[in-house]
Amino acid sequence: MDLTLLERTIEELGEPAYRVRQVWRWLARGAASWEEMTDLPLALRRELAARVPISTLAVVASARARDGTEKVLFRTADGKPLEAVLMRYRDGRRSLCLSSQSGCPLTCTFCQTGRMRFGRNLTASEILDQALHFRRDERPTHAVFMGMGEPLMNLDAVLAACERLPDIGIAHRRTAISTVGWLPGIERLAREGPPVRLALSLHAPNDALRSELMPINERYPIAAVLDACREWWRHRRRQVFVEYLMLAGVNDRYEQALELAALLRPREAFCVNLIPYNPTDAPYRGSSRRAIDAFRGALEERSVRATVRLTRGREIAAACGQLAARQPLAAVAGG
């Protein structure tokens, strides 16, 4: 729901300001219609229904994978496409992957989103409406800003959305913001906003390779970005998750693991998350499981904590790097 429009409409109707809080409480609990908001007068509900759409986003298509991952293609009121994902885990976690932009302007070579035409930044309400869509069916527990776009290029809207996520059931400590290394955003995030977690998409242990994979590195090279991450850690006292996409023959050699380990000091400030490559139109192959295990072992031998990400939703193009707002999506993958 467009919360700014809601506030303006409530004021125009001469209603008390607490009506906005009432509406938000219903939305955060999963309400899907004005009719459900029974502590609002009937006349007011009818007036609001005529003036304020229940969501800023229209559902275009959806798909569900065999592992329970669900992806939804939305469209904004002005026709911009975006996707969001709900990942379901056997231990009960329900993690949302949220988009902060329609498309992405940063054109990382391995990422399908970067091949889209960039639309625009999303508003805080458009970000929240992604979460509210899934909340109508079940209560999410975690959120990651790892969908479409660079969140730190739209930090005001992202932080505004983060402030409201606990009302939906997602604590700040269970919210992570991922960045390709947008330096001004990291520096600002170190000093303001709720106590969320920070993830850095690094994907290479040196500037030469990273610039080939991620053009943003020409503007903000590794040393500057890691210095900003260390400052974030000193202020927040939370580890930075270093995301590292495993590309066969590109960045997965033993000596590259040693190079990466040498960069990540102090050790307690960083945790490396190795990401198996998910197929896109890019000319890469994923590293073998043996290569991933060897890379992880080399990091851990040098006291760098490392994990391997569990791939979710690959069969419906919902995994890391695969979001591209393509139509149509299958209604259900695998039955």
CB-based contact 98:164 (threshold 8 Å): no
Quote the CA–CA distance of 223 and 210 in Å, as a whole number. 12
CA torsion sign for 56, 59, 62, 68 is: positive
For the stretch 151-179, pLDDT in tens is 999 999 999 999 999 999 999 999 999 99
Mean pLDDT across 202-219: 97
Alpha-carbon dihedral 203, 206, 207, 210, rounded to 10 degrees: -20
For 33, other C-beta atoms within 10 Å of its C-beta total 11
Burial of 311 (0-12, 13-18, 19+ CB in 10 A): middle
Please choose, from the candidates 300, 245, 314, the residue with its C-alpha nearest in 3D space to the C-alpha of residue 270. Answer: 300
* Residue spans per domain, the chain: 1-54, 55-316
CA 30, 170, 146, 100 dihedral sign is positive
Average of per-residue pLDDT values in the chain: 93
106 neighbors 214 (Cβ within 8 angstroms): yes
**C-alpha to C-alpha distance for 47 and 68, rounded to whole angstroms:** 38
Choose the CATH number for 1-54 among 3.30.930.10, 3.40.605.10, 1.10.150.530, 3.40.630.30: 1.10.150.530
The predicted structure's pLDDT at residue 329: 53
Mean pLDDT over residues 139-146, rounded? 97
* pLDDT higher than 80, residue 315: no
**CB within 8 A of 259, min separation 6: which ones?**
205, 206
- Checking if the pLDDT of 134 tops 60, the result is yes
- What's the confidence (pLDDT) of residue 281? 73
CA angle 181, 186, 189 (to 5 degrees): 150
- The residue with tokens 């006291």 is 303
pLDDT of residue 333: 41
What pLDDT is attached to residue 291?
97
104 catalytic, yes or no?
Answer: no
> Among this protein's residues, is 320 annotated catalytic?
yes
Kindly state the helix (H) or strand (E) to which residue 301 belongs, with its residue range.
helix 289-301
* Per-residue pLDDT, 279: 75
pLDDT at 325 over 70: no
Could you say which of 1.10.8.60, 3.30.479.30, 1.10.10.10, 3.20.20.70 is the CATH number of the domain covering 55-316? 3.20.20.70
Instruction: Place 114 in a pLDDT band, splitting at 50, 70 and 90.
Output: confident
pTM: 0.93
Indicate whether 206 pLDDT > 50: yes
The catalytically annotated residue of 97, 104, 111, 320 is 320
Active-site residue identified among 47, 70, 83, 150? 83
